[in-house]
A and B are shown apart, each in its own frame.
Chain A
Amino acid sequence: MSDRVTVQVAVNGVPLSVEVEARTTLVDFLRDDLELTGTHVGCEQGVCGACTVLVDGVAARSCLMLAVQASEADVTTTEGLANDSRMAVVYDALTESHAFQCGFCTPGFLAQIATLVEASSRPDEAAVRAALSGNLCRCTGYESIIDGVLLALQQTTENES
């Protein structure tokens, strides 16, 4: 075997087959090979959460995955979430609560928030804080993000009833 691999993956619903170096991380694959630059590289150690994407619907640190490990999976980035109608209420709520300033952490937060909104049971504030504890923000001080998520969850519940 060599140090090049073929990654066969569906990204935001689009099936792809791309040859890359085996050492290419998923985040670099998304940003450099696919030019989906919405996902950001922060610490590159899995701590900051800026690189968080959805792999088969669950949150994953794309800086701690090889692109080839996403083979045969469905990867959703922030670009894909923008086309997800279930996220519309999230975007509105986060805008209303001023949940982003520079925007660097935002795509990672959105991926994590997507899992909260799509969860079968409604998380309370403590659960929201715990779920988002792996995403760092240097600008907002977090309260506006938490407020926005709670607002989105409340409105999702109202829409469903």
Chain B
Amino acid sequence: MKLPAFDYHAPRSLDHALELLREHGDEARVLAGGQSLLPMMAMRLARPSVLVDFGQISSLDGITVTDDTVSLGAMLRERQAEESDVVRRRLPLLADALPLIGHDAIRNRGTIGGSIAHADPAAEIPTVALALDASIVVVSADRGERAIAAADFFQGFLTTSIEDDEAVLRIEVPAASPQTGTSFCEMARRHGDFAIVGAAVAVDVHDGRISSARIALMGVDGLPLRRTDAEHILAGSAPTAACLEAAAEAASRDLNPPSDMHGSSPYRKHMATVLVRRGLDEALRRAQEEPA
């Protein structure tokens, strides 16, 4: 359908934008890239009476590195992140995931902050943020900035802990170490389709043993999930086939994925095991071959 009517604002400053969000509260939504919000509005799944377009605010799309943290501005286009040397070298898991998001034209407009705030359970960026223990920095006119750990950020289906008067400002992501290997595996029927199930995997390897592992799944619930049972099996272990199999099996244990026309619940659960195993194999291979 065509979009419903709304009042439109395109503030030129962040302060003005935050004042508008404070004024309009839950009647307003932030417009970032629009690649998720506009289709939702067209399908009447979202019905804000006010849109605050962040597209005219400068300096919200930077990539900066401080010590071992990479900071990504909320309005950074997915395409810019995809082409960034810093992202490729310091956030390899994100670099793996970005080309899987939709298509060229979608990534040219879609933003990192928008994807995080939208929190689709089958979306790549929220899953990467969860896997890497990112910090989502939000801001409001009344309370200033606050940082929300990814583990606390995703609350449920398309639901985050952002307050009505808040907007995502940036994502702070711990950079990969030289010992880190990553892999992002997803199952989609066609290139660029929404993923049915996906796995984000990062492992750190020291002296032939896995010192730590991070595994997050998408498409298996109403929100992305960290698989800490699987991570505990891997931590401190030698990466034997038995160990990896046990971890992959643990990653899908206790899952109750949805069934829809793209995949049944048992299928998704099975694919979670398969993708985690593939992800571990590839992440380990890259951890061991990548130069420091």
Contact = CB atoms under 8 A, between A and B. Distances in A.
B39 interface: yes
A38 interface: no
Contacts of B192: 133-134
Interface in A86-144: 112, 115, 130-131, 133-134
Contacts of A115: 104
Given A3-B5, A64-B109, A45 B39 contact: yes
B6 A22 contact: yes
A35 to B, nearest CB: 18
B178 interface: no
A49 B190 CA distance: 14
Contacts of B143: none
B249 to A, nearest CB: 33
B5 A66 contact: no
A150 interface: no
Nearest to B53: A69
Contacts of B9: 1
Interface in A3-53: 3, 5, 21-23, 25, 28, 44-46, 49, 52
Contact of B34 (A3, A5, A65, A131): A65
B105 interface: yes
A115 B104 CA distance: 10
Contact of B105 (A2, A22, A112): A112
Interface string B34-69: 110011001000000001010100000000000000
A48 to B, nearest CB: 10
A58 B79 contact: yes
B207 interface: no
B258 to A, nearest CB: 20
Given A58-B108, A60-B109, A46 B7 contact: no
Contacts of B34: 64-66, 69
Interface string B2-22: 111111111000000000000
Contact of A52 (B35, B42, B105): B105
B106 interface: yes
A152 interface: no
B92 interface: no
Contacts of B31: 66, 69
B191 interface: yes
B38 A64 contact: yes
A153 interface: no
Interface string B69-111: 0000000000100000000000000000000001111101100
Nearest to B37: A64
Contacts of B108: 55, 58-60
Contacts of B10: 68, 71
A61 B109 contact: yes
Contact of A22 (B2, B51, B103): B51
B109 A44 contact: no
Given A46-B102, A59-B108, A66-B8, A25 B3 contact: yes
A65 B109 CA distance: 9
A28 B38 CA distance: 14
B105 A69 contact: no
A23 B4 contact: yes
A23 B5 contact: yes
Contacts of A58: 79, 108
Interface string B174-218: 000000000000000011100000000000000000000000000
Interface of A: 1-3, 5, 21-23, 25, 28, 44-46, 49, 52, 55, 58-61, 64-66, 68-69, 71, 112, 115, 130-131, 133-134
9 contacts: A25-B3, A59-B104, A60-B109, A65-B109, A69-B31, A69-B53, A112-B105, A130-B191, A131-B104
- The 7 A-B residue pairs whose C-beta atoms are closest, nearest first, are A134-B103, A22-B8, A23-B3, A59-B105, A133-B191, A58-B108, A45-B39
Given A64-B39, A64-B106, A134-B192, 14 more contacts: A2-B7, A5-B8, A22-B6, A23-B6, A45-B39, A58-B108, A60-B108, A64-B34, A68-B10, A68-B53, A69-B34, A133-B191, A133-B192, A134-B105
